[in-house]
Structure 1
Amino acid sequence: MKTRTYTPALLLLTLSLTGLASGRAAAQTALDLPAAVARALASGPDLTTSRANLQKAQANYASTAADPTSIITTKLSAKQGLESAQLNVLSTKLNVMQTVVSGYINAYETALKVDLYAAQQALNSRTLAITQAKQKAGTATALDVTKAQNTLNSTAQDLSDARAQLPILEAQLGKTLGLSGDLKLQPLPKAPALNVSLASLQTNLDTRLSGVQQAAQSVASAQLTVDVSNNDYTPARTLQDAQTALSNAQRSLQDAQKSAQNSLKDAYRSAQNAEKQVGIAAASLSANQTTLAQTQARLKAGTAAAVDVQSAQVNVQQAQLTLTQAQDALWKALAALSAASGQDLTGLVK
């Protein structure tokens, strides 16, 4: 067996290249959507802050409750602070999940577009060559060639834009997750079905949304101020001001409740529509796959050209992307509905 001898310089170069290859391999991170959301929920800065605020609120509430000198308004403030901090943790989880879902989908779909545009570019290049050949044979015009060239140029620009956008989107997602390097995003799992009614989501909605909770707390605080001001030793003007503040707080609460209900209804309709679009896109893909099979059979029979098969293949790829986009839109709609309802409907928030 022949022994290979390395000079110091060659050995250094070999080790450097080996280290570089290992570094590149290590920089590539395979990631799926559930893992991405779990990572953001475990170590994201927003949730870290929310959890820290909850601990502070718990400590403040405990000390206030244990202090016999605490007055009623101080106790109410501490109680409300704890309730707000508790709900804020859940709200932050839902918001973080929604952010990750959106960022993941944007990057993943762009990667698919790069593949699609590359296939379209190859097809359009072939179409241009065929059109040019037809022009030489007198069966196509210069205008036909110009149109084919314009189509190719447009696809080439789309491909260039998608390639330029992809690393930006991956970097944005990586920043959200605290990751650097090349992200290898896996296909999204099938989105869960929308198997909850609007009426059930509307039940106790006020208790699950931070904005409505804050408005309700303002009413409670204003009501307490009215109660403690309604006596013989407090100036009448103080009571009147407290009553006015209570009326304003009640109107603000009504507005917040109405806005929350409207947002929930809109988000629910969007999720329903997204589910329907998945079915439509799936049917379109099936039709395109059938057309491809028929075109391949015609090619074997000599009644179709190879470019016809290539065109049918690109159509299938486009239909696959459309279906993926529809499924991704359902994920986004469910994430938005989760935020609007204060309840996780994606199964991603653990």
Structure 2
Amino acid sequence: MRTQVGIIGAGPAGLMLSHLLHLQGIDSIILENRSREEIEGTIRAGVLEQGSVDLMNAAGVGERMMREGHCHHGIELRFNRQGHRINMHELTEGKNVTVYPQHEVIKDLVAARLDSAGEIYFGVDDVSLHGLDTELPKIQFRPHKGAELQEILCDYIAGCDGFHGPSRPNIPVNIRVDYQKKYPFGWLGILAEAPPSAPELVYANHDRGFALLSTRSPEIQRLYLQVDITDNIANWSDDRIWTELHARLETHDGFNLIEGPIIQKSILSMRSFVCDPMQYGRLFLAGDAAHIVPPTGAKGLNLAFADVQVLARGLQQLYTSGKNDLLAQYSHTALRRVWKAERFSSYMTSMLHRHAEHTPFERGIQLAELEYVTTSRVAAASLAENYVGLPMAL
């Protein structure tokens, strides 16, 4: 097989990149080790920045998002049993976020690629990359487990295959620097069949730990609790989960948390990670293959979209004019935004989570930061600007 851009991974990064290239008349082939049913059925969070919403609409795949997504003009920071609303719409001159789950984004992009006769191979096995420092790199893979190896000859390869994919290890360790921070706590996340308890996301800092109240649909709600990373989900009965959520989300004015049957629960580990550089030879990394952020800042999917928008522009310039200055600067350009998103995610995480090693002094500083950001217009505007999203390409 032969294509211009071989893409490994059918997550948001790989699918959006393939679609953006298609709109510019550039061929691509996507390889994905999971089935279509699995990638479309794995329920993931989805808070889309204004830039991501604009990109979906500009790419012609935003119709269902605009119809079914929930536009939020603000968020609530809750501490000392009081809620404090950050009016993002006002503070950022009309920008918002849209709550639209990641698996729905994937459904829209898969449908768009298949409707345009795009090539996606699901359920592949044994993917490997070769000749990245040559003018004709290739990808070898098995269409399914046990099948004979096949080969795709490419001009370029995009590694959009997540943190554990085969792409990043192909950047030699002598030129690659991996920056990583692991957090001593995780998030216990649940899906509950219940109506919304609040109109917007609620981020709660409590003496017992962090809690997040989010939504997925008018019938399904997503809630999180900070837990020890060594904890076991078997230790958390439904009753214990609801008791803890009530305790951490309660307010002086009698906030009412609506319960419902819990249909899914799991514990998510949290880390920050950055790979530098994000390119080597004819290989370009995008999305979780290159960086991970803790979910507190809601930046994961949005960073993936920002990466591929930069990469698509570089490839478009190359194929239309023969110039490669944008492509050569891909890693530098993408990493400027990545590090700013890492900074914001780290800030939100440190401000909202309790640490076992916190001294009373450090706890006082944390509460002072929360009071400052909710009473200072300048501080609130900074949080809002970062939350709704910095420009896609800085």
Structure of higher RCO (CA pairs closer than 8 Å, 6+ residues apart): 1
Say which one has the larger Rg.
1
Question: Normalized against structure 1, the TM-score is what?
Answer: 0.28
The structure with more helix, counted as a fraction of residues: 1
